[in-house]
Chains A and B, each alone.
Chain A
Amino acid sequence: MPWDRNQMAARAADELEDGMYVNLGIGIPTLVANYVGDKDITLQSENGMLGMGPFPLEGDEDPDLINAGKQTITELARTSYFDSAQSFGMIRGGKIAAAILGAMEVAENGDLANWMIPGKLVKGMGGAMDLVAGVGRVVVVMDHTNKHGDSKVLKACTLPLTGAGVVDRIITNLGVLDVVEGGLKIVELAEGVSEDEMRAATEATLV
């Protein structure tokens, strides 16, 4: 059985180490926060906050307190606030240990596409280009194939890039792949997924 969304998020949480400052993207990456357990992880929200807390209780919403997805959130005892220039200063400056992000396509050379489909409505890259260029480690969490069954793990991205050669590790419903010299290396298979199934669903070179 391939992993479901929550199992992918739980596996992604294994990437995080005690003491890390981390930025989580929208979608499955957001769920990673539910699986950090006892690890001391500080979440960054790039609109200007370190130490992001959970959603507020009903009635406690504060319009001045949102995350980068514009959702109402809460602060923690450790929280600090800062402006957008400083926020991206810490991202660009390599102070954020890791970003866990979704993707439309990833290529075997670490190229990432997750912001634009030509001919479709373009909303913008937001902070994704800054994050993938700046943080210590980029982990992509996504389904291995699209809804037509085509591989999203490619020899080369077909969509406009968010970053070139930026991805370190890919976690999909089928398992875990690392970007290495010459292609991708299978690190782990989801329970019940065979290497043949992984290879069949992967267009990229597996080394």
Chain B
Amino acid sequence: MKKVYGSAAEALDGVTQDGMLIAAGGFGLCGIPELLIDALVASGVKDLTVASNNAGVDGFGLGKLLETKQIKKMMSSYVGENAEFMRQYLSGELELEFNPQGTLAERMRAGGCGIPGFYTKTGVGTVIAEGKEHKEFGGETYILEEGIFADLSIVKAWKADDTGNLVFRKTARNFNPPAAMCGRICIAEVEEIVPRGALDPDKIHLPGIYVHRIVQGDHEKRIEQRTVRKREDA
């Protein structure tokens, strides 16, 4: 069982094809698989559908895959902060499927758990519910949402061991575990690969069974909104 690869490009070798569905972790620019996104740009794979809460910003994260027009469709909850995204969307070049954030997360989790559909109250009475099955449980109305079964998952973690056990850091965990779970193949990029046994088994956030390939590298980890208190005010 060899899971550790030398680079993001090597980790992607043999698992990409045009038209595939990719689930990506991250929230805003926090905890995004920036190395694998760069490698996808370099690979030239196209007509991608990408399930990701956000679409990056101009010039960083998924914004790079949008600039090269490799993405055909996005499944997201919030796509502000990206001018190129809006240009492509308004001109009809890019499809967009809005998902409420929790519905998107649960669709990924469900897919990873072998659950093809679930009922939720989220979106009942809104445009999100149009065309979806409605069903009453205990006098309340719910809509049917479908699990996401991705061809490939790309996620970012803090640390991994060589068996793919992952540990995330603070709010950089976000969509990464559910995104990882729903892919037929999952590639995780991490800041550090540690020796087997160095991670406390009680503190593994995502067991290595979900992770097929691992790559270590340096991350820019860009901050989207730098908000601070002045030291003299503290």
State the A residues within 8 Å of B (CB). 45-49, 54-73, 75, 81-85, 87-89, 91-92, 111, 121-130, 133-134, 160-165
Contacts and interface: CB of A to CB of B under 8 A. Distances in A.
Interface of B: 27-31, 53, 76-80, 86, 98, 100-106, 108-109, 120-128, 158, 168-178, 205, 221-231, 234
Contacts of A161: 125-127
A65 B171 contact: yes
A55 B230 CA distance: 10
A81 B171 CA distance: 6
Of B27, B103, B175, the most chain A CB neighbours within 10 A belong to: B27
Contacts of B109: 85
Contacts of A83: 105, 168, 173-178, 205
9 contacts: A45-B171, A55-B228, A75-B170, A83-B105, A83-B178, A85-B105, A88-B106, A129-B103, A133-B121
A84 B27 contact: yes
Given A62-B170, A81-B171, A129 B223 contact: no
A137 to B, nearest CB: 15
A202 B68 CA distance: 49
Of A60, A129, A134, the most chain B CB neighbours within 10 A belong to: A129
B225 A72 contact: yes
B30 A64 contact: yes
A63 to B, nearest CB: 4
Contacts of A49: 170-171
Contacts of A133: 120-124
Nearest to B101: A127
A92 B80 contact: no
A92 B102 contact: yes
Given A47-B27, A92-B121, A70 B171 contact: no
Contacts of A82: 173
A59 to B, nearest CB: 8
Given A130-B101, A163-B125, A66 B224 contact: yes
B172 to A, nearest CB: 4
A66 B171 contact: yes
Contact of B225 (A46, A69, A129, A130): A69
Contacts of A65: 170-171
A130 B100 CA distance: 6
Given A125-B98, A134-B121, A84 B105 contact: yes
Contacts of B205: 83
A56 B31 CA distance: 19
Of A48, A55, A81, the most chain B CB neighbours within 10 A belong to: A48
Contacts of A91: 102
A65 B125 CA distance: 34
B176 A88 contact: no
A91 B102 CA distance: 8
A64 B103 CA distance: 23
A196 B53 CA distance: 45
Given A84-B178, A85-B178, A126-B101, A63 B78 contact: no
A164 B158 CA distance: 40
A88 B101 contact: yes
Contact of B226 (A61, A67, A129): A61
Given A54-B229, A58-B229, 20 more contacts: A45-B171, A55-B229, A63-B30, A65-B170, A66-B225, A71-B225, A72-B223, A81-B170, A84-B53, A84-B101, A85-B106, A92-B120, A123-B80, A125-B100, A129-B122, A130-B103, A130-B122, A133-B120, A163-B125, A164-B126
B65 to A, nearest CB: 18
Contact of B227 (A48, A55, A111, A128): A55
Contacts of A129: 100, 102-103, 122-123, 126, 128
B126 A160 contact: yes
A89 B109 CA distance: 11
Given A48-B174, A65-B171, A85-B177, A72 B228 contact: yes
